[in-house]
Amino acid sequence: MTSTAIPTKIDTPLQKYPELAEQRRRAVLLLNLALPHPLDISQLGPENDDASWNDLLATALEWRAELETFADVQCEDSPGLLHFSRPYGWHCLTNFSAKPKPLPEGIIVISSSPITKGNLPPATTVWLLRWVG
């Protein structure tokens, strides 16, 4: 695993915003599914039967099977975002701040919340495909 500095400072802790709790859970789900590790999906879902949660999980698992190649992870430099990439152009970006952050160019594969005006909303994870050069 190659890495650069992982951001340790978050603009405003999201715990101060209880209205973002569900959005935060969805963001962490996609973040966890993008990491290379053995997966126990029984621990990823909520305790209730939430159809939108199950849809997100099913779609993410389908994309994960399609995108996953090697276990290599590279931390990327994206101010204010947790951003890592995997081989063949799969990028995972998470905004843990309380403010929208500019989203790099790429094809959106899946997002834990709607993306608007090219910005990654607070408490949101997105998977992008970016051309490998």
The domains found in the chain, sorted by start residue, are 14-129 (2.60.40.1180)
Backbone angles phi, psi at 19, to 5 degrees: -70, -15
The predicted model scores a pTM of 0.69
Calculate mean pLDDT across residues 88-92: 89
- Which amino acid is present at 93? L
- pLDDT tier at 39 (50, 70, 90 boundaries)? low
The per-residue pLDDT for 15 is 61
pLDDT in tens, 49-76: 567 777 888 888 887 877 776 678 888 8
Is pLDDT larger for residue 60 or for residue 38?
60
